[in-house]
């Protein structure tokens, strides 16, 4: 095996740093296989233990992945800021990103021109009182158990803060499989172990979850709607079943990631019932107000939120009040409410059009909620490549999966209803599909 990059060093920390440099510069890309421990040790004239120790430290920080079959590889999203952007050929429609349609986000200029910014000083209340009231009302309207509310920098920031506040290196966390790849990578970077639980269009499969919980996990992380990548969403029946399952594990920390909020297109159900000892729910505005207004409302039990806020004060301190005021002004505007409702309808129309058009070619796809549609395929790489030739960029499913079967993810946020037909025809023409049911 020949690498484009020469790993150097004679001590474990030098070897690890050399690998990190290679990754940072883009010379060791995601998925690149590193030499076996003995081979590298022999080239560097060091003890195999030294190389093993370098690999281990990078694994624990989520930079490398070890998998018996494939050896040691560079993580898909290493916990390092890699300074190489992936470029799409000109003229390709990008349906791979997972974000909202900029045309469906509220107009920021209209809000900022009305704003009278009030900058905060040290020692003043950290959060905007109006924004906290809005969050409280929003949660109450959705029947979400009332707990203290923290303002954090987005859904992922909220999830990370809760994990850091409550878990320790080596703890096991039950996650949806397929699931959001950044959550998988975040868990690795925190030294936590993801335990996959399959799901269908209504969310986690209760009997599988029960089995996993019985084997012992510290926390459960789930997406109640707009599940990424499958578009699954809880309904009333599944919510009741999952509540019954988690009730039998009173010490389990249950974290819900409602990253898409009102543009998910399905109601807000929650597995967390009032009185649960350890729980958290985070609702972000990224998908409905815009990713650059990355603010999220985090609620949960008193101890979890207390720890999160205590830790927040030691580092970032608080989320800028200028940002909080913009979000509060947007959230309370009548115009925004109807605009967000229209965006949810537009995403629903786009999801349904794509699923319908694919079905007309005999292709089964999933996407009940949110911005993505998940299409099981026999071969992910071949599918992604052939669609790219046809002018469509979609995301290969590999980074979203742990034990579930192959698929590709299509972000429908920018896919117009009128284009769904052409996409489905191109998909059908270029593929030999093996139909699988995810979560089975």
User: Residues in the site for ligand PLP, rule: CB under 6 A?
Assistant: 98, 154-156, 180, 223, 228, 257, 259, 284, 286, 291, 294, 296
Q: Which is nearer to ligand PLP, 155 or 202 (CB)?
A: 155
Q: Which is nearer to ligand PLP, 37 or 296 (CB)?
A: 296
Q: Which is nearer to ligand PLP, 223 or 325 (CB)?
A: 223
Q: Which of 230, 220, 208 is nearest to 373 (CA)?
A: 230
Please, is 232 exposed, middle or buried when counting C-beta atoms within 10 Å of its C-beta (0-12, 13-18, 19+)?
buried
**Smallest distance, Å, CB 383 to ligand PLP?**
21
Q: Which is nearer to ligand PLP, 158 or 206 (CB)?
A: 158
Q: Which is nearer to ligand PLP, 98 or 396 (CB)?
A: 98
SS3 7: coil
Q: Which is nearer to ligand PLP, 325 or 372 (CB)?
A: 372
The terminus-to-terminus CA distance of the chain in angstroms comes to: 36
**Smallest distance, Å, CB 283 to ligand PLP?**
9
Q: Which is nearer to ligand PLP, 218 or 257 (CB)?
A: 257
**Smallest distance, Å, CB 121 to ligand PLP?**
27
Please, is 29 exposed, middle or buried when counting C-beta atoms within 10 Å of its C-beta (0-12, 13-18, 19+)?
middle
- d(CA 373, CA 20) in angstroms, rounded, equals 34
**Smallest distance, Å, CB 98 to ligand PLP?**
5
Q: Which is nearer to ligand PLP, 40 or 152 (CB)?
A: 152
**Smallest distance, Å, CB 37 to ligand PLP?**
35
Residue spans of alpha helices (H) in 45-84: 48-60
Q: Which is nearer to ligand PLP, 50 or 413 (CB)?
A: 413
**Smallest distance, Å, CB 367 to ligand PLP?**
13
**Smallest distance, Å, CB 97 to ligand PLP?**
9
**Smallest distance, Å, CB 259 to ligand PLP?**
4
**Smallest distance, Å, CB 226 to ligand PLP?**
7
């Amino acid at each position: 095996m020949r690498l484009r990059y020469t790993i150097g060093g004679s001590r474990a920390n030098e070897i690890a740093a050399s690998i990190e440099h290679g990754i940072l510069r883009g010379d060791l890309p995601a998925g690149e296989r590193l030499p076996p421990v003995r081979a590298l040790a022999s080239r560097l004239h060091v003890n195999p233990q030294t190389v093993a120790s370098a690999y281990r430290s990078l694994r624990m920080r989520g930079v490398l992945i070890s998998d018996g079959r494939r050896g040691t590889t560079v993580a898909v999203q290493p916990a390092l800021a890699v300074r190489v952007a992936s470029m799409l050929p000109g003229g390709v429609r990008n349906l791979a990103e997972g974000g909202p349609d900029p045309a469906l986000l509220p107009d920021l200029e209209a809000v900022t021109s009305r704003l009278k910014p009030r900058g905060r000083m040290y020692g003043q209340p950290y959060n905007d009182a109006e924004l906290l009231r809005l969050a409280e009302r929003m949660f109450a309207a959705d029947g979400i158990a009332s707990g203290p509310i923290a303002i954090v920098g987005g859904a992922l920031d909220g999830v990370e803060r809760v994990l850091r506040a409550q878990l320790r290196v080596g703890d096991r966390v039950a996650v949806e499989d397929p699931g959001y790849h950044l959550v998988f990578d975040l868990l690795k970077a925190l030294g936590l172990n993801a335990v996959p639980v399959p799901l269908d269009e209504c969310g986690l499969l209760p009997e599988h979850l029960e089995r996993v919980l019985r084997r012992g996990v510290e926390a459960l992380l789930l997406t109640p709607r707009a599940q990424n990548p499958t578009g699954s969403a809880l309904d009333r029946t599944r919510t009741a079943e999952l509540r019954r399952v988690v009730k039998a594990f009173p010490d389990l920390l249950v974290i819900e990631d409602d990253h898409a909020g009102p543009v998910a297109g399905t109601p807000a159900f929650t597995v967390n019932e009032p009185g649960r000892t350890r729980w958290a729910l985070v609702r972000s505005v990224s998908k409905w107000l815009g990713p650059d207004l990355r603010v999220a409302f985090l609620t949960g039990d008193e101890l979890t939120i207390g720890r999160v806020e205590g830790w927040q004060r030691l580092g970032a301190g608080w989320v800028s009040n200028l940002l909080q005021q913009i979000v509060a002004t947007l959230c309370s505007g009548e115009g925004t409410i109807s605009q967000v409702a229209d965006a949810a309808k537009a995403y629903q129309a786009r999801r349904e059009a794509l699923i319908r058009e694919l079905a007309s070619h005999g292709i089964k796809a999933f996407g009940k909620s949110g911005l993505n549609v998940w299409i099981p395929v026999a071969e992910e790489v071949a599918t992604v490549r052939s669609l790219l030739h046809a002018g469509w960029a979609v995301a290969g499913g590999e980074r979203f999966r742990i034990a579930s079967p192959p698929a590709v993810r299509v972000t429908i946020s920018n896919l117009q209803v009128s284009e769904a037909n052409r996409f489905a025809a191109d998909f059908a023409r270029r593929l030999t599909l093996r139909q699988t049911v995810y979560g089975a």
